[in-house]
Amino acid sequence: MRRFALGVAVLMLLALPLVAKARVSGPCSDCHTMHNSQNGAEVFPGGPYRALTKGDCIGCHTGVNDGSNNIPYVLSDSEPTYNFDGTKNTLAGGNFYWVKNGDDTAGHNVASLNNTDDNLNAPPGFNSNDYQANGAIGTDWSTNTLSCAGTYGCHGTHNTTDDFAAIYGAHHADDSTIDGSTVGKSFRFLYGIKGTEDDDWEYTVSSSDHNGYYASDYQTTGTIDSASINYLCAECHGNFHLHSEIDDSTTGAPWLRHPTDYDMNNVKNKEYGNYPNASLYNSVSNTGDYFPDVPVGTTDGSVKSQVLQASGDAIVLCISCHRAHGSPYADMLRWDYSSCTAGSQNANCGCFACHTSK
Ligand code: HEC
Ligand code: HEC
Ligand code: HEC
Ligand code: HEC
Ligand code: HEC
């Protein structure tokens, strides 16, 4: 069995070198225990877990990213390194460390962190009608808490409250094509969402080494695309998206909510044409360089090292400003918003990557 798995892995490596890391590999016993019992005693406390795994989602996904781990770690027991426009050992979604250890506003308080949000339980801006194309999120937020996956979660399908049932089979699925058709073939198991998966989840990152976020240019198409990474956020925070592609008078600026699914090529002649404000930040050198700490999306979800080259390649995202799992900062922002002051541009604030003349 193991030799067979290895053979398959080698074949995959030969055929598609970049894909090898995206789907689980290694001995079954690294991740599975058949009965969670050895000499009559429990092997993994709290188990047995679903799919005969050695832990729940958070259990397996806790650790310190060092570039050699083949499980992406999203929670760390010690404080991760996180410098905006600088070194980090967190991945693209950020880390749940800060929300678990003190600051409820620093991330999504998913149930298995055992630290519910003191102020919020329902998602701010929740809209249960307009964003159901990938399956409806549950509406009873008074008795349910946000979870990793399922009806009240981000990953997997939304038709079951069981995290494992919601992603069943995804870890072993062939994800060489990310078309949103199944959980395994969706960007990071976010059902229905498209994009390009960086093979180390942005542990190493630069203008040319990063995820490709699929988004839409609502201004041009007039339709809400359910495969957009912004749509994922809108499944729970719909009202923050509803008035963000375009305002009620359909004229764009002045805006009612910060735009998303909005292509900066539409306003390239204004300050936005100078993204990412290369002279201000360390990790970018030229106008148009993709700035992974203030990312933008594309209408084909591809990885671009230079943006503002053609329409549809520089779309504002919810995650241009937020980290999906969490960050050291309030509102899980990518940078410290309190360092953002008009008239005194500084590299600690990411707003200036697009608002290059404020
Ligand atoms: C690196 C971790 C890892 C390794 C190694 C691994 N698995 Fe899994 N497997 C998982 C996880 C996580 C799940 C549950 C989540 C899911 O279904 O995607 C799972 C689910 C499954 C399932 C149920 C879902 C499905 O895809 O059918 C089966 C069966 C399974 N594994 C068999 C195996 C066998 C057999 C081996 C060894 C040849 C193996 N696994 C090796 C992580 C692993
Ligand atoms: C037994 C350990 C184990 C458990 C339990 C587990 N995972 Fe994973 N997970 C892995 C490994 C190993 C990978 C890396 C391989 C891969 O990308 O599929 C991974 C990858 C992922 C990824 C990234 C996929 C990608 O495209 O790179 C997501 C998202 C994820 N897991 C979510 C979950 C969720 C949600 C649960 C709980 C329902 C869960 N995992 C449970 C081991 C585990
Ligand atoms: C499955 C539902 C769901 C999805 C999808 C979702 N969120 Fe949330 N979000 C919540 C809930 C519930 C809360 C309130 C509880 C909490 O803070 O954890 C919340 C809170 C927040 C907060 C405020 C944090 C605080 O505590 O002050 C921000 C910011 C946020 N979400 C951004 C996002 C972004 C960006 C995305 C897309 C990457 C997203 N959310 C996707 C459910 C969701
Ligand atoms: C990824 C690029 C990007 C980032 C990062 C960004 N913005 Fe924007 N912002 C835009 C675009 C594009 C517009 C719409 C411009 C237009 O319609 O002329 C906009 C519009 C606005 C508006 C409304 C202007 C109007 O005409 O109604 C305000 C206010 C604003 N942004 C503030 C901020 C603040 C504060 C931050 C940091 C927290 C920020 N933005 C970060 C791209 C960005
Ligand atoms: C331009 C940067 C930027 C973009 C883009 C952006 N946000 Fe925010 N978000 C913020 C800031 C800054 C705050 C802090 C509160 C405020 O200024 O409104 C915030 C606050 C939030 C909150 C917390 C609200 C509360 O009541 O505590 C949620 C939820 C949220 N954002 C979700 C989203 C979603 C979903 C999207 C995409 C549709 C999005 N954000 C796009 C910057 C942004």
Single-letter amino acid, residue 84: F
Residue labelled with tokens 């990213």? 65
Q: Which is more confident, 231 or 55?
A: 231
pLDDT of residue 260: 92
> Is the C-beta atom of 44 inside 6 A of ligand 2?
no
Start-to-end C-alpha separation, the chain: 61
Q: Retrieve residue 307's tokens.
A: 């943006």
Q: Is residue 16 scored above 70 in pLDDT?
A: no
Give, in order, the Cα–Cα distances in Å from 111 to each of 96, 146, 196.
12, 6, 28
| Residues within 6 Å of ligand 4 by CB | 252-255, 258-259, 262, 264, 267, 270, 272, 294, 296, 316, 320-321, 337, 340, 350-351, 353-355
Closest CA to ligand 4's atom 28: 258
Closest CA to ligand 2's atom 13: 71
Q: Which is more confident, 223 or 5?
A: 223
pLDDT of residue 319: 98
**Minimal CA–CA distance to 128: which of 120, 114, 115, 138?**
138
pLDDT of residue 252: 55
| Residue 203 CB partners (closer than 8 Å, separation 6+) | 65, 67, 89, 91
Q: Is residue 2 scored above 50 in pLDDT?
A: no
pLDDT of residue 158: 98
pLDDT of residue 66: 96
Our mutation pick for probing the ligand 1 site, out of 3, 21, 32, counting the most ligand atoms within 8 A of Cβ, is 32
The atom of ligand 1 lying closest to the CA of 164 is: 15
> Is the C-beta atom of 169 inside 6 A of ligand 1?
yes
Section 242-252 average pLDDT = 53
SS3 content of the chain, % helix, strand, coil (to 5): 25, 10, 65
Q: Is residue 17 scored above 50 in pLDDT?
A: no
The atom of ligand 1 lying closest to the CA of 184 is: 18
The atom of ligand 4 lying closest to the CA of 350 is: 5
Q: What is the pTM of this model?
A: 0.93
Mean pLDDT over the full length of the chain:
89
Give residue 22 CA to ligand 5 midpoint distance, Å: 30
218-253 burial, b at 16+ Cβ within 10 Å, e below that, comes to bbeeeebbbbbbbbbbbbbbbbbbbebbbeeeeeee
Our mutation pick for probing the ligand 2 site, out of 34, 54, 71, counting the most ligand atoms within 8 A of Cβ, is 71
pLDDT digits (tens, 9 = 90+) for 143-172: 999 999 999 999 999 999 999 999 999 999
Section 318-328 average pLDDT = 98
pLDDT digits (tens, 9 = 90+) for 179-227: 999 999 999 999 999 999 999 999 999 999 999 999 999 888 888 899 9
pLDDT of residue 116: 82
Q: What percent of the chain has pLDDT over 70?
A: 90
Q: Is residue 8 scored above 60 in pLDDT?
A: no
Q: Which ligand is nearest to the CA of 27?
A: 1
pLDDT of residue 259: 87
Section 316-337 average pLDDT = 97
Closest CA to ligand 1's atom 6: 28
pLDDT of residue 250: 52
The atom of ligand 3 lying closest to the CA of 318 is: 35
> Is the C-beta atom of 240 inside 6 A of ligand 5?
yes
Residue 7: band (very low, low, confident or very high) from pLDDT cuts 50, 70, 90: very low
**Could you give the CA distance from residue 188 to residue 108 in angstroms, rounded to a whole number?**
17
**Minimal CA–CA distance to 108: which of 68, 72, 154?**
154
Residue 55: band (very low, low, confident or very high) from pLDDT cuts 50, 70, 90: confident
* Cβ–Cβ < 8 Å for 175, 183: no
pLDDT of residue 68: 93
Q: Say which range, 14-18, 294-298, 304-308, has the weakest mean pLDDT.
A: 14-18
pLDDT digits (tens, 9 = 90+) for 67-126: 999 999 999 999 999 999 999 999 999 999 999 998 999 999 999 998 888 888 899 999
pLDDT of residue 256: 66
